[in-house]
Amino acid sequence: MFIVDCDCHNYWSSATVLEPYLSGVWKDMFIEGEKTGPVGAFPHGHRPWFHPQDFSRKDVRPKVEADNYLIMKDKHLDKYDIGVAILTGDEPIEASTLANPYYASALVSAYNDYQINEWLPKDSRFMGSIVIAPQDPRLAAAEIRRLGAHPRMAQVLASQGSVRPYGDPFYHPIFEACAEVGLPFAIHLGGHGGINWNAVAPAPTTFFWETHAILHMSAMSHVASMIAHGVFEKWPDLYFVLIECGIAWVPSVLWRLDADYKALRKETPWLKMLPSEYSRRNIRFSTQPLEQPSNVNHLWAILEAMDGENTLLFASDYPHWDYDDVNTLHIPPEWRGKVLGQNALDVYKRIPRPQAAAAA
Amino acid sequence: MAEKTYICRADEIQVGTPFIAKVRSLSIGVFRIGDSFHALLNVCPHRGAPLCEGPQCGTTAPVEGPEFIYHRENEIVRCAWHGWEFDIKSGTALVNPSVRARTFAVTVEAGGIYVTA
């Protein structure tokens, strides 16, 4: 079976690995400036809550920088025969929390170059993500165009935390650039903090598990906003991928969007289809973390309602604490071929087809 | 048929660093709590992760209000992946005692640790 892991985090032991990829004032600020985390941490506006046990699996303990790849290869890529792993970085998407958009853009550019030079060559199974700092969409679009032709860049990646819902016309330069270079726009859980202060509607939450369990609230906003603002009318071939944002909420939100749109379509006269039809055509959801009801049939009924066989993409979230492995993914067995790999081929067009065909 | 297998010397196991042994096809973690030894199958009943490679630790006692009593130090292992807490002595999950990690009898003979599995 051909397996595509849409969320494989490439770690570093210290953010100082970015130093060779920064220059001028940004390098100066990176080395000399204030950092919010421990020494060597990547600069970001800190979130109000914190993980009580660290984010990483406890059986993944790199001692030197090279271990980050070697352990991933041993405990994940080889162990589960992953065909393609799309690298999603880790700390870099937190650049979206910084108020200084110029510094944030310099940081993600440095990360993207580091990823291309130091991660992609390690393993032919790797595809990369162009990480952007969305708080200045013009700079983000420039970064997308700078690297958009790279054959091993699979997607454009931003954090789920943002200053506005992503459908807002403010962000449209990003989608224009994505469409131009032919890459999907993906958001990954994170970036809640700093200028993205409105992590969830009422106010910041207190505890990590409480927060993690309801982080899909902002994903709901993004889905509604992307559809309502007509992003998928302007760019009908654009895929919007939600990584680590939960699944079970999707049908209920789409049911509500369809019902309300039918009554109030005059607000958004540019739409030509029902919200659920745009979602089915243009939006994909990663599996990790799948909800875990005590009766799995309750989950499967929901997955059925969102056409999960065709709209779900496998993600492991390696090496984070809520990692899912291929073998224990709770989806209907007859969907496994599509969800574990084939659906990703529709979205990530740069995955080499011979590689996929040989393994399928 | 369960059989007794020599694992290692007792002084090779420190509190906080279980000895992960191979017994036939089984991966088993042997923990020290003070002067007693306990063995758990290195497979989490939740999702099959390497249970014994997580931290050996304590936990907070159940309370009625906002009070944080850290207790049972070193009697708990948190699964390496998803952090589920298990009582090392009984193998039961703290959040739901009907979920159990498999346990094995441990004996100490002449300074050697033996597991019956």
Is the Cβ pair A59, B78 closer than 8 Å? no
Contact present, A289 and A317 (Cβ < 8 Å): yes
SS (H, E, C) chain B: CCCEEEEEEHHHCECCECEEEEECCEEEEEEEECCEEEEEECCCCCCCCCHHHCCEEEEECCCCCCCCCEEEEEEEEECCCCCCEEECCCCEECCCCCCECCEEEEEEECCEEEEEC
Q: What is the rounded average pLDDT for all residues in chain A?
A: 93
Cβ burial of B67 (10 Å; 0-12, 13-18, 19+) is exposed
Contact present, B59 and B72 (Cβ < 8 Å): yes
Contact present, A89 and A10 (Cβ < 8 Å): yes
Is the Cβ pair B82, A327 closer than 8 Å? no
Q: From its phi and psi, is residue B16 left (phi > 0), alpha (psi between -120 and 50) or beta?
A: left
- List, for residues A290-303, the tens digit of each pLDDT value: 999 999 999 999 99
pLDDT for residue B88: 98
* C-alpha dist (Å) from residue B91 to A38, B88, B108: 35, 5, 20
Is the Cβ pair B81, A59 closer than 8 Å? yes
Torsion A127-A6-A70-A38 (CA) sign: positive
Is the Cβ pair B83, A59 closer than 8 Å? no
Confidence of residue B37 (pLDDT cuts 50, 70, 90): very high
Of residues A59, A325, A328, nearest to B53 (C-beta): A59
Of residues B47, B48, B80, nearest to A58 (C-beta): B80
* C-alpha dist (Å) from residue A17 to A27, A49, A150, A320: 12, 26, 22, 21
Q: What is the mean pLDDT of residues A90-98?
A: 95
Is the Cβ pair B54, A59 closer than 8 Å? yes
* Cα B91 from Cα A242, distance rounded (Å): 37
ipTM: 0.73
Distance of residue B109 Cα from the nearest chain A Cα, in angstroms = 31
- List, for residues B2-11, the tens digit of each pLDDT value: 899 999 999 9
Distance of residue A280 Cα from the nearest chain B Cα, in angstroms = 30
DSSP letter for each residue of A269-321:
TT--S-HHHHHHHHEEEE-SSPP--SSHHHHHHHHHHTTHHHHEE----BTBT
In chain B, the residue whose alpha carbon lies closest to the alpha carbon of A292 is B46
Is the Cβ pair B78, A58 closer than 8 Å? yes
Whether A111 has a pLDDT exceeding 80, the answer reads yes
* Cα B107 from Cα B105, distance rounded (Å): 7
DSSP letter for each residue of A103-153:
HHHHHHHHHHHHIIIIIGGG-TTEEEEEE--TTSHHHHHHHHHHHTT-TTE
- List, for residues A225-249, the tens digit of each pLDDT value: 999 999 999 999 999 999 999 999 9
Contact present, A348 and A155 (Cβ < 8 Å): yes
Does residue A321 belong to the interface with chain B, where contact is any CB pair within 8 Å?
yes
Q: Chains A and B: how many Cβ contacts under 8 Å?
A: 34
DSSP type of residue A232: H
- List, for residues A331-347, the tens digit of each pLDDT value: 999 999 999 999 999 99
Does residue A53 belong to the interface with chain B, where contact is any CB pair within 8 Å?
yes
- List, for residues A126-181, the tens digit of each pLDDT value: 999 999 999 999 999 999 999 999 999 999 999 999 999 999 999 999 999 999 99
Question: Regarding beta strands B36-41 and B26-33, do their DSSP bridges make them parallel or antiparallel, or are they unpaired?
Answer: antiparallel
Cβ contacts of A47 within 8 Å, gap of 6 or more? A97, A192, A193, A194, A199, A204
pLDDT for residue A360: 65
Question: Regarding beta strands A240-243 and A185-188, do their DSSP bridges make them parallel or antiparallel, or are they unpaired?
Answer: parallel
Contact present, A324 and A286 (Cβ < 8 Å): no
With beta carbons under 8 A apart, name residues in chain B contacting A80.
none
Of residues A59, A322, A325, nearest to B80 (C-beta): A59
In chain B, the residue whose alpha carbon lies closest to the alpha carbon of A319 is B81
Contact present, A208 and A50 (Cβ < 8 Å): yes
pLDDT for residue A353: 83
Q: What is the mean pLDDT of residues A82-111?
A: 96
Judged by DSSP in three states, A222 sits in: helix
pTM for this predicted structure: 0.90
Question: Regarding beta strands A153-159 and A126-131, do their DSSP bridges make them parallel or antiparallel, or are they unpaired?
Answer: parallel
With beta carbons under 8 A apart, name residues in chain B contacting A330.
none
With beta carbons under 8 A apart, name residues in chain B contacting A57.
49, 80-81
Q: What is the mean pLDDT of residues A33-57?
A: 79
- Give the closest residue to A342 by CA, choosing from A314, A304, A315, A302: A314
Q: Which amino acid is at A95?
A: A
- Give the closest residue to A162 by CA, choosing from A204, A192, A136, A142: A192
Q: What is the rounded average pLDDT for all residues in chain B?
A: 95
With beta carbons under 8 A apart, name residues in chain A contacting B55.
53, 58
* Cα A167 from Cα A255, distance rounded (Å): 19
- List, for residues A244-284, the tens digit of each pLDDT value: 999 999 999 999 999 999 989 999 999 999 999 999 999 99
